[in-house]
Amino acid sequence: MTRTAKNRGAQRAKRARAVFIAALCLGASCAALSKAPSSTPRSPTLDPPAPVANAAPILLTLNGLESPYHVMSAFVLPGGVLTLEVAAKGFTVSADSGRLERLDPLAWNWTAPAAAGVHELHVHSGGSRSLVRVFVLRPYYGGTTIGGYRLGHYVRDAKEGDPAYRIPEGFVEVTARNFDTMVSPHFRLGQFLCKDEVALPKFIALCTSLLVKLEMLVDALAARGLAAPTLHVMSGYRTPVYNAAIGNQTSISRHLYGDAADVFLDRDGDEMQDDLDGDGRSTRADARVLHDLVERMDASLPEAMQGGLAVYGATAAHGPFVHLDLRGRRARW
């Protein structure tokens, strides 16, 4: 391996470790936020995901985004390329389809097949293994529908050409077959579906960056003694037509672009934010715990992982929750 390749590998490992450690170290620094319950109940409706066999996570970079998780998803168009960089020694990469091309000792390009679907890339290094699920998207060429599923109208050239507001180029088709597919260690594909009353198949936009940030939040909660099999995703992707139907005043909500989620911690399965301050109620103060953890995470994350953050109280329609997104710049309200 050349000195340049070694230096690149060290830099990648350092960056990826920083993302990983930022999540894991939050528990100690945030211990005073609230008193954690002593028990960790398991959700009666969602079992914890099974890990990859013999998996210890390998630090990966997927199209420039670091992931220290043993399962992570990426999203490309048909014929598109995923660049996979590995911060490990003596690793191997295999794919169930598509075309793999080695760029240097630490990086590969994977070219997607011509048809939409989901494919797997396996990375092995000694006793460590990581799985990358790559969703090949159904291309979107505009219009109000895709595959018979109603989207509504996207706003073109929103925010004066801000790339974060580009109309999605493609969507993941969600079917009964792939609904429960793990897209990361604690989240399933179906959790991010639009909540419209439409039968499968449906289509969604979803971003790797959102999955990484949600996993970091799960890690931070676990470090505080609040381990959970997942977070409740109250709202993930929304179609423009659904976003308008629920009364949202903006036509460019981040939920339309696949990098936003409204979430809360629900370890007892009652579909409400858990009581974290011990007052016997589910309140805004409980959701504030998640908000403050994300705030601390953002202090050590690069600009690409920054975004919107807000805490909402309960209404007649829902309980308290936290909104987070990855618009690429800090926003608070």
DSSP states of 162-217 as a string? -GGGPPPSEEEEE-TTTTT-EEETTEEGGGGS--SS-PSPEEE---HHHHHHHHHH
| Global confidence as pTM | 0.86
Output the CA angle 314-315-320, nearest 5 degrees.
Answer: 20
Q: In 3D, which of 13, 10, 20 has the Cα closest to residue 305?
A: 20
pLDDT at site 56: 61
Give just the sign of the alpha carbon dihedral 106, 111, 113, 119.
Answer: positive
Tokens of 297: 């995470």
Q: Which residue has the tokens 């629920």?
A: 246
Q: CB-hemisphere CA count at 13 Å for 39?
A: 8
What per-residue confidence (pLDDT) applies to 242? Answer: 98
Q: Which pLDDT score is estimated for 89?
A: 84
Beta-strand pair 202-204/260-264: unpaired
Q: Which amino acid is at 291?
A: H
pLDDT at 174: 98
Question: Reduced to 3 DSSP states, what percent helix, strand and coil does the chain have, rounded to the nearest 5?
Answer: 25, 30, 50
Contact 266, 232 (CB under 8 A): yes
Please name the amino acid found at residue 221: L
Task: Please check whether residue 79 is in contact with residue 169, taking contact to mean a CB–CB distance below 8 angstroms.
Answer: no
Residue 57 pLDDT: 77
How would you classify residue 330: left for phi > 0, otherwise alpha for psi between -120 and 50, otherwise beta?
Answer: beta
Q: Is the dihedral of CA 156, 261, 114, 59 positive or negative?
A: positive
Do residues 223 and 26 touch, judged by C-beta distance below 8 A?
A: yes
At 267, list the tokens: 């370890």
Tokens of 221: 């909660």
pLDDT at residue 11, rounded to an integer:
52
Distance CA 70, CA 55 (A): 7
Domain range annotation of the chain: 3-332
The pLDDT profile of the chain, 333 residues, written as one tens digit per residue, is 444 444 554 454 444 444 443 433 333 333 222 323 323 233 333 333 444 444 567 999 999 999 999 999 999 999 999 999 999 888 999 999 999 999 999 999 999 999 999 999 999 998 899 999 999 999 999 999 999 999 999 999 999 889 999 999 999 999 999 999 999 999 999 999 999 999 999 999 999 999 999 999 999 999 999 999 999 999 999 999 999 999 999 999 999 999 999 999 999 999 999 999 999 999 999 999 999 999 999 999 999 999 999 999 999 999 999 999 999 999 999
**What angle (nearest 5°) sits at the alpha carbon of residue 192, between those of residues 186 and 195?**
140
DSSP 257-275: GT-EEEEE--SSSSSS---
- Residue 129, Ramachandran bin (φ over 0: left; ψ between -120 and 50: alpha; else beta): beta
Rounded Cα distance between 291 and 38, Å, is 21
Single-letter residue type at 178: N
Preceding peptide of 139 cis, ω within 30°: no
